[in-house]
């Protein structure tokens, strides 16, 4: 009863921020449908990937997990159990688990390590338990660990139906990368752990006066972006994604736990994106719960965008990412 899996992180083009009230903290039901690109790093030495090994055995006296050499405790281990427990029950297994996981990129820095991690966890755990589940169903189990993980169960471009129950809140593939050639050049301005996790941040979204309008607009924009991806329309995808990211940060900054994920360097990158666009280079930005900036552009423009961003002293390094393949099990175990 041992299996390993890899899964990539994803970047939201339409954001998930705040949870449905009756979905509580346990179910991670989003307020609006949302859309993302599952991303594979192709430069900078990072594939933006988690590698997870899960083993169930009678020889383990308790559940445990090591992430990046660190034994998880408290809420972090509880989130892992939220995914594994229902799968273990489904399989009729009572043994405890031992899990090891590694991210090949910074954890908790706004690059969605939780998305890659919980997606890899759901795949490895279900495989170790001998369950044969569809990607859609697996996405619902990954969601219990981290909302955005639901979207990493597919490669390419992905649509998360908000749903209104555990079964109806799942991820569906829009398309693999080819119909919509897109790269994200990630400008890393800080690799440190963020001060307030998204997990906590979501709980405060409803206290912002802008929360309901963000939700309403995002629901419409999710559909527009899905259509624009299928139409290979970068201008529409990019401009809506950029605007949608700003709506989310407006909610974050105006909630009763004010969250300022941007740093001075973040704003400098935003200005560079505007300057490149003024010069006729088609590039748009989006920012998650952290100071780093994803710059969306055509693959043929990625090196020029990278060069421009790396020219600024405020940028520590960049990673170019493209749409990733589907996550899958692998033979190499971590222990
Ligand atoms: P990020 O932007 O990196 O997703 P979050 O604060 O939302 O930041 O999530 C980070 C948390 O996600 C970690 O503290 C850990 O609890 C969990 N996490 C990250 N990577 C993994 C992994 N590979 N497996 C399981 N859990 C993970
Ligand atoms: C800002 O999925 O990290 O990246 O459900 O608590 O794990 P949990 O939150 P998480 O939230 C990510 C929010 C975001 C936007 C997005 O990815 O849609």
Please compute the mean of the pLDDT values over residues 98-114 and round it to a whole number.
88
Q: Is 33 in the pocket of ligand 2 (CB under 6 A)?
A: no
Which pLDDT belongs to residue 22? 74
Q: Is 101 in the pocket of ligand 1 (CB under 6 A)?
A: yes
Cα maximum dimension of the chain:
63
Whose C-alpha lies nearest to ligand 2, atom 14? 288
The rounded Å distance from CA 242 to ligand 1 centre is 24
Q: Average pLDDT over the chain, rounded to whole?
A: 96
Q: Is 201 in the pocket of ligand 1 (CB under 6 A)?
A: no
Q: Is 12 in the pocket of ligand 1 (CB under 6 A)?
A: no
| Ligand 2 atom showing the smallest separation from residue 143 Cα | 5
Which pLDDT belongs to residue 24? 63
Which pLDDT belongs to residue 9? 97
The answer to whether residues 263 and 191 touch, using CB atoms and an 8 Å cutoff, is: no
- What pLDDT band is residue 302 in, cutting at 50, 70 and 90? very high
- What pLDDT band is residue 317 in, cutting at 50, 70 and 90? very high
Which pLDDT belongs to residue 23? 67
The answer to whether residues 1 and 128 touch, using CB atoms and an 8 Å cutoff, is: yes
Please compute the mean of the pLDDT values over residues 26-52 and round it to a whole number.
95
Which pLDDT belongs to residue 98? 98
Q: In whole angstroms, what is the distance from residue 244 CA to residue 274 CA?
A: 16
Could you tell me which of 115, 211, 225, 113 has the C-alpha nearest to residue 159? 225
| Ligand 1 atom showing the smallest separation from residue 51 Cα | 23
Which pLDDT belongs to residue 192? 80
Ligand number nearest to the C-alpha of 67:
1
Mutate-to-test residue for ligand 2 from 151, 160, 289, 291, highest number of ligand atoms within 8 A of CB: 289
Which pLDDT belongs to residue 191? 86
Whose C-alpha lies nearest to ligand 1, atom 23? 117
Please compute the mean of the pLDDT values over residues 312-328 and round it to a whole number.
96
Please compute the mean of the pLDDT values over residues 160-184 and round it to a whole number.
96
For residue 215 the two structure tokens come to: 């939700």
- What pLDDT band is residue 44 in, cutting at 50, 70 and 90? confident
Which pLDDT belongs to residue 107? 83
Which residue stretches of 45-103 are H helix? 74-91
Beta-carbon contacts of 41 under 8 Å, excluding residues fewer than 6 positions away, are 47, 48, 49, 104, 105, 319, 320, 321
Residue 25 scores a pLDDT above 70: no
Q: Is 253 in the pocket of ligand 1 (CB under 6 A)?
A: no
Assign a CATH topology to domain 2-330. Ribosomal Protein S5; domain 2 (3.30.230)
Q: In whole angstroms, what is the distance from residue 177 CA to residue 10 CA?
A: 13
Whose C-alpha lies nearest to ligand 2, atom 3? 198
Please compute the mean of the pLDDT values over residues 15-19 and round it to a whole number.
97
Whose C-alpha lies nearest to ligand 1, atom 17? 114
Please tell me whether residue 102 adopts helix, strand or coil conformation. strand
Q: What percent of the chain has pLDDT over 90?
A: 91
Residue 318 scores a pLDDT above 90: yes
Mutate-to-test residue for ligand 1 from 107, 142, 248, highest number of ligand atoms within 8 A of CB: 107
- What pLDDT band is residue 1 in, cutting at 50, 70 and 90? very high
Domain parsing of the chain, residue ranges: 2-330
- What pLDDT band is residue 248 in, cutting at 50, 70 and 90? very high
The rounded Å distance from CA 57 to ligand 1 centre is 25
For residue 31 the two structure tokens come to: 């307020």
175-221 confidence digits (pLDDT tens): 998 899 999 999 999 988 778 888 899 999 999 999 999 999 999 99
């Amino acid at each position: 009863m041992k299996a390993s899996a890899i899964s990539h992180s994803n970047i939201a083009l339409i954001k998930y921020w705040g949870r449905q009230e009756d979905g509580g903290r346990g179910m991670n039901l989003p307020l609006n449908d949302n859309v993302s690109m599952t991303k594979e790093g192709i430069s900078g030495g990072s594939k933006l990937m988690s590698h997870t090994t899960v083993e169930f055995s009678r020889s383990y006296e308790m559940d445990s997990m090591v992430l990046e050499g660190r034994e998880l405790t408290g809420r972090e281990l509880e989130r892992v159990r939220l995914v594994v427990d229902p799968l273990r029950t489904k399989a009729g297994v009572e043994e405890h688990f031992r899990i090891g996981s590694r991210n090949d990129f910074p954890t908790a820095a706004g690059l969605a390590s939780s998305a890659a991690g919980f997606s890899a966890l759901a795949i490895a755990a279900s495989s170790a338990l001998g369950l044969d589940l569809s990607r859609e169903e697996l996405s619902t189990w990954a969601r219990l660990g981290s909302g955005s993980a639901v979207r990493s169960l597919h490669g390419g471009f992905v649509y998360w139906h908000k749903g209104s129950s555990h079964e109806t809140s799942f991820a569906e593939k829009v398309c693999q990368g080819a119909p919509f050639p897109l790269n994200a050049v990630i400008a890393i301005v800080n690799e440190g752990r963020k001060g307030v996790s998204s997990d906590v941040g979501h709980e405060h979204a409803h206290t912002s006066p802008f929360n309901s309008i963000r939700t309403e607009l995002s629901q419409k924009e999710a559909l527009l972006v899905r259509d624009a991806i299928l139409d290979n329309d970068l201008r529409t995808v990019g401009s809506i994604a950029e605007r949608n990211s700003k709506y989310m940060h407006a909610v974050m900054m105006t909630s009763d736990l004010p969250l300022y994920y941007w740093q001075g360097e973040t704003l400098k990158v935003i200005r560079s994106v505007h300057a490149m666009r003024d010069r006729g280079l088609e590039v748009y930005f989006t920012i998650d719960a952290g100071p780093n900036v994803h710059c969306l552009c055509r693959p043929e423009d990625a090196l020029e965008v990278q060069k421009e961003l790396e020219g600024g002293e405020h940028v520590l390094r960049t990673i170019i990412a493209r749409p990733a393949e589907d996550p899958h099990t692998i033979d190499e175990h971590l222990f």
